[in-house]
Structure 1
């Protein structure tokens, strides 16, 4: 499962190297039009789509400067208080959408892949890429729509025009380069293979999500993206690959080791016995208590560290109550990625809060979160 995430990181970095993610974002923003609430929705949609395959932090780093440019274009005339309200909604919408988009896929954020690895290794429950998307995409869509409605309720009265700036930025990218077309093809084929993996495995049993990710990632080093004189420039080089967040992969491996130690030492069984009284509660109340606890903790700790520590404990509690472990572990995993209130909760929140606090009071972030 670590190699699945490594492959996802390499695909995301390759998209960034060839500016494919920027082209996707700008085309989405131009398509939604100039109306302020639709602009915020377009930014959130583009951010979430990119966040499905690119790290949440990198997505926010790319989208926030574009958002600031749009704010400048739309707030040149009119009421200053209305300008601040729009700026806060747009910047926080980008920060929140970066985290929400990561919920959609197994490679979108580390807790998702950590859950899949834990369930497979300790409970023989297989959660594939396509299976997770059947859960993640509906959840992320509902969350995205609610956050958009919450941030834009009441509308905005602005007079500026951002379409000219967006079209100018898109024009700077020029026509689709061979590199962009080829990474789009590789990413599209990988996504198709992930979704159809259960069918493919009926014919070739060795094919799983990890193999698909690594084949796609390795192909990036073999497919040329352009020619620089007589020299071929490949889609991926080692300088770009070195930007992989190796620390997250180490934390990921440590989380799996922690889960194995909790099971091997009997701690999981001991915790399960200590929670026998929880069985008297209704399943909905148990899920609510678990998700609330993790949601509070993830506001002040990394979502990966929170998931690594609590997924094995939640799994042990589920087994002790005769509940399928995935019924508690999946809500717990999603809750670990729902850190929207505190600026320190996630890197996108921190990045967004810097821009928000530069224009308005910091409580403007805490309230929507």
Structure 2
């Protein structure tokens, strides 16, 4: 708290000479940009609160009128975001996403390699349409149920083989045991132990790991055990598995978190940096001019996400499952073609199938509400896809520029507030078995549910980003930054893209990816204009790679949720995530220099990007990468 107060107070004071010496609109806007960037990166204030600063500072410093700044907080892109989120809330509220996930997992097979691929595909698909955080929070308990059941069954088998029935005290700590608050790990006379506290904070249990002995003692006896250094491990959802399933549990936790991040890059509403990109393009070039819409973005990003998802699957198998050389030979037997850490998996496969099937059966039969939400979801996806297909689509039935992707999003959202969540009980619509009295049924969506679950902070963050970008444009700061970066013109374009994607990718490991996109994308757009580079050539890969945050728990909410289950350590995430970051950077650069060139004509400077920079049109062919010849 004291650190945050210091940052909030000192940052404006340290930068104050900047506006005292240079008294112009460029320096004023630069002053605000630096303050917001520091607050966002250091999280000295809540990120949405920082996003409100342009509403105060831009009018006071004469950069923009208050009414003009306010308009930025409810742009068309924000409306698209809100409409998509309402659809996602309906999916979550009626548990449609869980039914889809379990249905897919039942057909993916029960071998760990295929089960992990199933988890990744389902998570990636769902994160294209709903929050990455909600998707991860829904998928990880399913993985946990599979792992805990397998571990319990193995422990029972070991107890039977040893002809010694297990006692309640030998059971390892689970997420739902009597001691869920926290675990204290330490060493007393070189014997590892775990101290856990129950909900009332009085009873303690000490697990002597070597002898599997558990003793209980009162709070007053705590000093008898904590003789050496103690480490407090706080994991809200922590659970333990048998050592034989330790690698599998790490793989499952990471695969869900990583696939949520990757899947978010596959659609325009999958993650907020994608919407920041559209907002920047709308502000600088006009929404009706640039080629990015829901369909074109998906055409470019979906194949890239699928291929990279497969690469992440292979990498996780190399580290934790089949492809890890440590698991090729067990007890003198070759297991390189087996499903996981042991050769014989027949019984385990049956257990996995049983757990997933039981979870699906708990959902019961399809309900009227689930079917209704599914129909509206499909309709919304089709409306987005067929609105504009290379100049054709249902959007052409209306005046040009009047209908955007936000129109069907809000239309379907409004309909969901009107459609009943149960079959209407009047005339021929009333089922024979329906004994309820006639009357109105609650709607699929209601305002209390939307108000509670819609992340208003993200809406403010998007609006603050658009306001900041507009302020930089109006004040001339964007042009000034672009002129300073024009010294990079001596580099090949593909080298500039590689450098920018690398910087953005590792920046996003320590702060919000939306904040990083908000700060960097307008600057990169100015850079592209100054060096006569197609803006999409630089902005598209940087937008995608800003979501590739795989190394740290703080990098993204899916990482934090996976880490909270207690199976992962920071070195686990850092080592595996660093390599995946590197692969992701290389991949987005290869993709934009091959497939991207063919989709968006990135080797030409487009007319729609002629922003006070007509000289660039004289050089329609930019210096592209060697990959261009492969497109």
Structure richer in helix, relative to its length: 1
Match of 2:341 in 1: 157
The within-5 A match list for 1:218-257 is 218-226=414-422, 230-242=439-451, 243-257=453-467
Residue 255 of structure 1 and its aligned partner are, at CA, apart by: 0.4
1:128 aligns with 2:267: no
**Following the alignment from structure 1 to structure 2, what is the Cα–Cα distance between the partners of residues 326 and 259?**
17
Residue 143 of structure 1 and its aligned partner are, at CA, apart by: 1.5
Match of 2:90 in 1: 14
Please give the per-residue CA displacement for 1:278-330, whole angstroms capped at 9, x wherever unaligned.
11111111111111111111000101111011110000000000012111111
**Preserved contact between residue 267 and residue 301 of structure 2 (Cα < 8 Å):** yes
**Following the alignment from structure 1 to structure 2, what is the Cα–Cα distance between the partners of residues 187 and 220?**
10
2:530 pairs with 303, 320, 324, which one?
320
Residue 338 of structure 1 and its aligned partner are, at CA, apart by: 0.6
**Following the alignment from structure 2 to structure 1, what is the Cα–Cα distance between the partners of residues 523 and 117?**
37
**Preserved contact between residue 253 and residue 567 of structure 2 (Cα < 8 Å):** no
Residue 73 of structure 1 and its aligned partner are, at CA, apart by: 2.8
1:148 aligns with 2:313: yes
**Following the alignment from structure 1 to structure 2, what is the Cα–Cα distance between the partners of residues 303 and 68?**
27
Match of 2:187 in 1: none
The within-5 A match list for 1:58-207 is 58-75=134-151, 76-77=153-154, 80-124=242-286, 125-153=290-318, 154-155=321-322, 156-158=340-342, 159=345, 160=348, 161-198=351-388, 199-205=393-399, 206-207=402-403
Residue 81 of structure 1 and its aligned partner are, at CA, apart by: 4.4
Residue 118 of structure 1 and its aligned partner are, at CA, apart by: 1.2
Which deviates the most, 125-134 or 71-80?
71-80
**Following the alignment from structure 1 to structure 2, what is the Cα–Cα distance between the partners of residues 246 and 309?**
20
Please give the per-residue CA displacement for 1:3-60, whole angstroms capped at 9, x wherever unaligned.
0000011000100011100000000111101100001100011111110111000111
Match of 2:163 in 1: none
Which deviates the most, 65-74 or 44-53?
65-74
Please give the per-residue CA displacement for 1:95-153, whole angstroms capped at 9, x wherever unaligned.
01111111111111011011112112212314110111011211211111011000012
Q: Secondary structure at the match of 1:224?
A: coil
**Following the alignment from structure 1 to structure 2, what is the Cα–Cα distance between the partners of residues 248 and 320?**
31
Q: Secondary structure at the match of 2:341?
A: coil
For normalisation by structure 1, the TM-score amounts to: 0.96
1:293 pairs with 503, 528, 542, which one?
503
Gaps of 5+ in 1: none
Q: RMSD value over aligned CA atoms?
A: 1.5
**Preserved contact between residue 116 and residue 126 of structure 1 (Cα < 8 Å):** no
1:215 aligns with 2:411: yes
**Following the alignment from structure 1 to structure 2, what is the Cα–Cα distance between the partners of residues 72 and 167?**
15
1:55 aligns with 2:263: no
Gaps of 5+ in 2: 1-76, 159-240, 323-339, 424-435, 578-631
**Preserved contact between residue 120 and residue 126 of structure 1 (Cα < 8 Å):** no
Aligned length in residues: 367
**Following the alignment from structure 1 to structure 2, what is the Cα–Cα distance between the partners of residues 270 and 118?**
17
**Preserved contact between residue 34 and residue 163 of structure 1 (Cα < 8 Å):** yes
Could you list the runs of 4 or more consecutive aligned residues of structure 1 that deviate by over 6 angstroms after TM superposition?
A: none
For normalisation by structure 2, the TM-score amounts to: 0.57
Which structure is larger by alpha-carbon Rg, 1 or 2? 2
**Following the alignment from structure 1 to structure 2, what is the Cα–Cα distance between the partners of residues 52 and 225?**
25
Which deviates the most, 155-164 or 277-286?
155-164
